Structure 1
C-alpha cells in the first residue's frame, strides 16, 4: 500500500502534470483568432446569423399569455425570471412558412437600453464561425422583407448566411406597430 500524499504535494504534482500535458497541445490557430462568430438561426428556409453581442440569451419557448388587439405575429408576453418578455414571431412577421414544428423553435432575446424583447425563430443552429474572406457586403438572394435588416452575407460551402442585425429591427416602425 502506498503512502497518501500530503494535499499540498498532491496539488504540486497535479500542477506539474497539467503543465506537461499543456505543452503537448497544439498552438492556437491564428486564423481562428481572426474569424467572426455569431448565433446562427433559421427563419423558414432562410439561414441567418446575428452578431453574438446583439443577442442577450437564447431560450426555449416559455408559456405565453396572449394579448388582445395585436397583430398575429405578436405571440404575447412571457414571464422570464420575473420580467415580462414580449414575444414576436419573426417567421410570421416576414410571412415565411415555418418548416418545422414547435419543438425546435427558440427565442433570441434582445436587450438594448430599455427595450427587452424575444424574437421567436424556427431553429437556433448554435455559434457559427466565418473567416473574413467568406463575407460579402452584397445581400443578393436575400428575401426583400428581410434584406432591410441584413448587412451582407457569409458564404460557407453551399450555404449562404444572411448577417441579420436584430438591433436594426428596433428602429423599424413596422416592427413596433403592433396594434391589429
Structure 2
C-alpha cells in the first residue's frame, strides 16, 4: 500500500482517491461483525427494522390501480418508472388496524430480482445500527401471529424496541401468496 501511495505523489487527485478507498476498506474491516444495520420503520406505534440488503428503495406513496377480487391488504399496482409494482398494506397484512396514509407514510420496496414488492408503512426512520448486546429475542417470540413467522429476532436500543422483519419470509408466506379475497 505504501508503494502505491508513493507512486501517486505527483497525482494529488489519484492520491486522495486511493487514500479514501484504503480508509473505507479499513473502516469496513474493523467494523465487520461488530454491528448490524437495518432500515427502521414503524407500523402504528411499533418499531421494526429490515436488513438493508432487502430494501431496493423507499418511495412516497403513489397512485395505485386496485386489482379486482384481490385481498384488502393488496392496495393495487403502481407504475414506478415504467415497471408495475404490487403495493401491499403491511399494516393490514400483519393484522394491525387499518390506518390512514399520511405525509409520513412510505412504500418500502423489497429488493427481489424476479418480483419486487412495495410495502406501505406508517413511517421510515432511516438506518439503525445494533450491537450483539442489543439482541432481545423474547420480543420476537412474543409477537402475534402471523407477524411472528416473519421475524428474525429483535433489538432494544436506547429504550426503543425494534423487531427484525424478514421481507424474504414475508414474500414467501402463505398470506402473501394467496391474494384472492
TM-score range, shorter chain: 0.7 to 0.9
Structure 1 distance, partners of 2:40, 2:30, is 20
CA contact (8 A) 1:50 1:165 kept: yes
TM-aligned CA distance change 1:120 to 1:132, over 3 Å: same
Q: How far off its partner does 1:170 sit?
A: 1.6
DSSP 3-state at the match of 1:175: helix
Where structure 1 has 5 or more consecutive residues not aligned to the other structure, the ranges are 1-10, 20-26
> In the TM superposition, what are the counterparts of 1:130-141 in structure 2 within 5 Å?
130-138=130-138, 139-141=140-142
Q: How far off its partner does 1:50 sit?
A: 0.3
TM-aligned CA distance change 1:98 to 1:129, over 3 Å: farther
Q: Deviations over 1:68-91 (max 9, x none)?
A: 111111111100011000000010
Normalised by the length of structure 2, the TM-score is 0.78
CA contact (8 A) 1:44 1:98 kept: no
Q: How far off its partner does 1:171 sit?
A: 1.3
TM-aligned CA distance change 1:92 to 1:132, over 3 Å: same
Q: Which of 1 and 2 has greater Rg? A: 1
Partner of 1:3 in structure 2? none
Could you list the runs of 4 or more consecutive aligned residues of structure 1 that deviate by over 4 angstroms after TM superposition? 27-33, 98-101
DSSP 3-state at the match of 1:103: coil
Normalised by the length of structure 1, the TM-score is 0.78
- Count of aligned pairs between the two proteins: 163
More off after superposition, 32-41 vs 56-65: 32-41
DSSP 3-state at the match of 1:71: coil
Where structure 2 has 5 or more consecutive residues not aligned to the other structure, the ranges are 1-10, 20-25
Partner of 2:171 in structure 1? 170
Q: How far off its partner does 1:97 sit?
A: 2.9
Structure 2 distance, partners of 1:111, 1:144, is 24
Partner of 1:109 in structure 2? 109
Structure 1 distance, partners of 2:134, 2:77, is 38
Partner of 2:66 in structure 1? 66
DSSP 3-state at the match of 1:147: helix
More helix by share: 2
Q: How far off its partner does 1:116 sit?
A: 1.4
TM-aligned CA distance change 1:159 to 1:80, over 3 Å: same
Structure 2 distance, partners of 1:31, 1:155, is 24
Structure 1 distance, partners of 2:28, 2:174, is 44
Structure 2 distance, partners of 1:171, 1:96, is 20
Partner of 1:83 in structure 2? 83
Q: How far off its partner does 1:128 sit?
A: 0.6
